[in-house]
Structure 1
Amino acid sequence: MTGNKAIAYVGKGAVEVRDIGYPSLTLQDGPGVNPANVGRRCDHGVILKCVATNICGSDQHMVRGRTTAPEGLVLGHEITGEVVEVGRDVEFVKQGDLVSVPFNIACGRCRNCKEGQTGICLNVNPDRAGSAYGYVDMGGWVGGQAEYVMVPYADWNVLRFPDRDQAMEKILDLTMLSDIFPTGFHGCVTAGVGVGSTVYIAGAGPVGLAAAASAQLLGAAVVIVGDLNADRLAQARSFGCETIDISQGEPREQIEQLLGVAEVDSAVDAVGFEARGHGGDATTEKPATVLNSLMDLTRAGGSLGIPGLYVTGDPGAEDAAARQGSLSLNFGLGWAKSHSFATGQCPVMRYHRRLMMAILHDRVQIAKAVDARTIPLTEAPRGYQEFDQGAARKYVLDPHGLLPQRN
């Protein structure tokens, strides 16, 4: 038995390092834990020593006060770790294994899991389909921005790296397998990106950059990334993307300057519900802007991948409809152009093994694409603050001092 330090949300705009209990294979009560999950036994689980655990843009929505997350919620759903304890019902995962953990918790037993829809597991969240570590309304599973964390249904959930030494050499890339790399890849796959495609990606945060790298991996001819942040656009250009500054006007007009036509084959929304307007409205929050613009600039018969987060409750929204998750969509335009839309959590297991192989065999450098930076767990509050201010990097927390330093 040992102690456990973790990052907790403590109020709008603030996180802090707290001492919490060492994880148990029985769910304990605590901030955000669904009462129906309290006392739930997880003999099918393992306890991990967190080797790497990342700050995600989805975490920022909670920290900004844009969700109903309770104070004291332990954050973190991007987890890579070493197995240090194995539940009695775990058969194939062993102590000492180095593993990646999909952010979406799945039982492996329900209809959705058996059909590969692990982002909407029916058995892990008493309130709705789908769950995640350290996230509001997702069942109350304790987050992994910590020294140690419990992972349920381990035989099903974790991805074991085949060679520990090789994995540690590429650990900053492999830690992206828990969320943003599969999420960006999923956005591109569902948008129909393939060889010779032209694709527009809205948002140059870590998920948008991961989507851009994914589009290149899938064979896109031209990858265009749009954002307001000059540093993030420069990061996209650093690995071969075209970029547009949406503070200068509508994406459609700038796409025409790049391609000679005003439309793309595929589009990905990597922004979500805190979207801002374009041009003169770039300082104003307009949550439907990205979705409406993607329908405008995607060719008839094209597809939109929407991995960007949208919520059913946004207490910080500027109007009553948006506070309930209702947006003013120009859906008639999408219908008239026969667009396909794909939304929701990425089913990480659908992609993560193949993406692991792409990393291990040097087909992609995802850590470089998102500019991964290593910081100690104790500096997480600084990481959150800098990320919120628009830092063009991905913060990787190093709870035990095991990671190569890239800061």
Structure 2
Amino acid sequence: MGGNKAVSYAGPGKVEVIDTDYPTFELKDGPGVNPANVGRKVNHGVILKVVATNICGSDQHMVRGRTTAPEGLVLGHEITGEVVETGPDVEFIKEGDLCSVPFNIACGRCQNCKEGKTGICLNVNPDRPGSAYGYVDMGGWVGGQAQYVLVPYADWNLLKFPDKDQAMEKIMDLTMLSDIFPTGYHGVFTAGVRTGSTVYIAGAGPVGLAAATAAQLLGASVVIVGDLNKERLAQARSFGCETVDVSEGDPKDQIEQILGVPEVDCGVDAVGFEAHGQGKEAAEEKPATVLNTVMDITKAGGALGIPGLYVTGDPGAKDEAAKVGSLSIRIGLGWAKSHSFTTGQCPVMRYHRQLMNAILHDKTQIAKNVNATAISIDQAPQGYKDFDSGVAKKFVLNPNEMIKVG
């Protein structure tokens, strides 16, 4: 086969579009590839021609230099594509199938996978449970912001769309199934959102907006989204959310103006470790702010869903404790209020088929709600810059020009 164009991390604040190797059914050495995975045979995998691959806030953490990601790492874990080649051990997925790829890489064979905990598979990352494409310390599986990508354990991992033509008509919605829609859904579901719930979602980025969409789908009576970014707050209001501008101070007072009480039934942290302060401290990075706020405004006996990313290594942190992921959270407050917490990667496979059906049968408009915007792979560097500036858009790369734009 021919070559392959991909998006690569080129150092803090930089991404490049590079020419790279066409994938094969064997993991090769390269930036970020775990040495123990080099030479690993992937006869159970497929090669996808990428239809859509999205820029994620998790990618942005690496590009800002806030992780230990090596230069040259091919980025991208939100992947939707068409199968163009199958390994000899693939039985059910066929060439020509159009599929969504969960960002978690899972073997389907280990204890955790069999229990549905596909975000912490035991067999795909030699260093620790859990793996993902194109992400630091995640085993070194090559990223999918590319024209072609290798997907292992294809019969287990891939979600095949039932009708290819219908799927292409809704591809801007369906591309969100690889990560942010299930991740947002996981956040609100584990926070206990059910019919009639009131919910506060910290963060109006794409994951926060996806969580708000999921909360509405689950029947929440009031969905409140908090952020510092006025453009993103306006995007939340565009599909019926209430909003809180945390630059104006503690969200509790604004929540009371909306609900009549200063607490919600369910709280969600869709911000993560690069959180900023509130009110007069809005310009300062304070990584524990959101966790402490969400505990404060969630009722006693409530639950917190935490899809926002927290890391064990943050070289850009302002204090030594935060550099190793140690934050000053008020665990005593959460204990006193009998809160339950759910953290970690979303197990995408737990939700993606149901959410696919909701999209295909017009029960939700996730692409509209997150303002999905298609760009070419050559525009990726500018897309990263625009996303980092805080625009209210979810950038979808169109590496093989298969998405009709306009």
> Residue 68 of structure 2: SS of its match in structure 1?
coil
Query: Is residue 59 of structure 2 the alignment partner of residue 59 of structure 1?
Result: yes
Task: Please list the CA deviations of residues 286-345 of structure 1 after superposition, one character each: whole Å capped at 9, or x if unmatched.
Answer: 000000000000000000000000000000000000001000010000000000000000
Equivalent-residue separation in structure 2 for 1:404 and 1:56 (angstroms):
21
Which residue is 1:386 aligned to?
Answer: 386
Equivalent-residue separation in structure 1 for 2:35 and 2:276 (angstroms):
36
> Residue 116 of structure 1: SS of its match in structure 2?
coil
Equivalent-residue separation in structure 1 for 2:8 and 2:199 (angstroms):
37
> Residue 99 of structure 1: SS of its match in structure 2?
strand
Q: Tell me the amino acid that sits aligned with residue 219 of structure 2.
A: G
Equivalent-residue separation in structure 1 for 2:252 and 2:114 (angstroms):
40
Which residue is 1:321 aligned to?
Answer: 321
Which residue is 1:162 aligned to?
Answer: 162
Q: Pairwise mapping of residues 229-308 of structure 1 onto structure 2 (< 5 A)?
A: 229-308=229-308
TM (norm. structure 2) is 1.00
Which residue is 2:181 aligned to?
Answer: 181
Query: Is residue 122 of structure 2 the alignment partner of residue 122 of structure 1?
Result: yes
How large is the Cα RMSD of the aligned pairs? Answer: 0.4
CA shift for structure 1 position 231: 0.4
Q: Tell me the amino acid that sits aligned with residue 302 of structure 2.
A: G
> Residue 155 of structure 1: SS of its match in structure 2?
helix
CA shift for structure 1 position 404: 2.4
Equivalent-residue separation in structure 2 for 1:330 and 1:400 (angstroms):
48
Which residue is 2:208 aligned to?
Answer: 208
> Residue 10 of structure 2: SS of its match in structure 1?
strand
Equivalent-residue separation in structure 2 for 1:178 and 1:246 (angstroms):
30
Q: Pairwise mapping of residues 292-371 of structure 1 onto structure 2 (< 5 A)?
A: 292-371=292-371
Equivalent-residue separation in structure 1 for 2:329 and 2:56 (angstroms):
27
Q: Which runs of 4+ in 1 moved over 2 A?
A: none
Q: Tell me the amino acid that sits aligned with residue 267 of structure 1.
A: G
Task: Please list the CA deviations of residues 195-244 of structure 1 after superposition, one character each: whole Å capped at 9, or x if unmatched.
Answer: 00000000000000000000000000000000000000000000000001
Q: Tell me the amino acid that sits aligned with residue 242 of structure 1.
A: E
Which residue is 2:89 aligned to?
Answer: 89
Q: Tell me the amino acid that sits aligned with residue 278 of structure 1.
A: Q
Equivalent-residue separation in structure 1 for 2:59 and 2:361 (angstroms):
31
Query: Is residue 36 of structure 2 the alignment partner of residue 17 of structure 1?
Result: no
Equivalent-residue separation in structure 2 for 1:21 and 1:374 (angstroms):
25
Which residue is 1:33 aligned to?
Answer: 33
Equivalent-residue separation in structure 1 for 2:405 and 2:271 (angstroms):
29
Equivalent-residue separation in structure 2 for 1:141 and 1:265 (angstroms):
39
Query: Is residue 146 of structure 2 the alignment partner of residue 132 of structure 1?
Result: no
Query: Is residue 30 of structure 2 the alignment partner of residue 42 of structure 1?
Result: no
CA shift for structure 1 position 253: 1.1
TM (norm. structure 1) is 0.99
How many residues are paired up? 406
Task: Please list the CA deviations of residues 179-206 of structure 1 after superposition, one character each: whole Å capped at 9, or x if unmatched.
Answer: 0000000001000000000000000000
Q: Tell me the amino acid that sits aligned with residue 106 of structure 1.
A: A
Q: Tell me the amino acid that sits aligned with residue 141 of structure 1.
A: W
Which residue is 2:7 aligned to?
Answer: 7
> Residue 144 of structure 2: SS of its match in structure 1?
coil
Task: Please list the CA deviations of residues 262-304 of structure 1 after superposition, one character each: whole Å capped at 9, or x if unmatched.
Answer: 0000011000000000000000000000000000000000000
Equivalent-residue separation in structure 1 for 2:286 and 2:199 (angstroms):
23
Unpaired runs of 5+ residues, structure 1, are none
Unpaired runs of 5+ residues, structure 2, are none
CA shift for structure 1 position 10: 0.3
Q: Tell me the amino acid that sits aligned with residue 233 of structure 2.
A: L
Which residue is 1:80 aligned to?
Answer: 80
> Residue 317 of structure 2: SS of its match in structure 1?
coil
Equivalent-residue separation in structure 1 for 2:378 and 2:2 (angstroms):
18
> Residue 162 of structure 2: SS of its match in structure 1?
coil
Equivalent-residue separation in structure 1 for 2:338 and 2:197 (angstroms):
18
Equivalent-residue separation in structure 2 for 1:215 and 1:186 (angstroms):
10
CA shift for structure 1 position 94: 0.0
CA shift for structure 1 position 2: 1.1
Equivalent-residue separation in structure 1 for 2:404 and 2:119 (angstroms):
31
Q: Tell me the amino acid that sits aligned with residue 26 of structure 1.
A: E
> Residue 201 of structure 2: SS of its match in structure 1?
strand
